[in-house]
Structure 1
């Protein structure tokens, strides 16, 4: 919760903050606050009306589809496309040992593993790590 929200939701904290204002500042702050509240309430009402209109349109479309003998499943089948299949997993192309001596592999795609990169940076040829089949 922000400090501002914490003050606004606690009457004693509001009073403490308001006591720091003089009378003209207090009147001006009240007018601005009430105006801002009205603006936000109006925004909420507009959003509520838009949502009601949307729900009415959806109901109208569903009613029309029902009159035409079209089911939701028919529509969903047209809209929902099958997901693209995942790429085939590639076989490992390189084999190397980590600093702890563990044997690891890399397909050659994506970021080069740090242990292999250290070896290559130290002068080892990448082809020397190729898996011989």
Structure 2
């Protein structure tokens, strides 16, 4: 909350600010605040009425479904469309072969971060094609 709004909520701050203002200005501010408050109350009432109306419609539809012998769970299941099943793609074949720091032979597909031993060898003058399988 901004400093000006927090000072509006504090009665002492309001009194201190009001001392330097004319009564007509304070009356104008009060009238505008009343308008803002009434607008917010109307918005809240409209939102509550819409929520009530939606709940009533849902209850009515639920009753209609139950009268016809359909449970709401069946209705939600029937709406599911059998879509494309995602399958995990096969791992990519290795393109490069290198020896790591522990003298173990490792393989790399060529995608992602370059392994450190390969990177170090390239920095020393070797070519990536030297590691091809």
TM-score for the superposition, normalised by structure 1: 0.65
Q: Which runs of 5+ in 1 are unaligned?
A: none
Q: Helix, strand or coil: the match of 2:74?
A: helix
Partner residue in 2 for 1:2: 2
Partner residue in 2 for 1:34: 34
Judge conservation of contact 1:96–1:104 (CA < 8 Å) in 2: yes
| Root mean square deviation, CA, Å | 3.7
Runs of at least 4 residues of structure 1 off by over 6 A? 101-104
What is the number of equivalent residue pairs in this alignment? 121
CA distance in 1, matches of 2:74, 2:42: 39
Q: Which runs of 5+ in 2 are unaligned?
A: none
Q: How does 1:25-104 map to 2 (within 5 A)?
A: 25-81=25-81, 85-92=85-92, 93=94
Of stretches 46-55 and 3-12 in structure 1, the one that deviates more from structure 2 is: 3-12
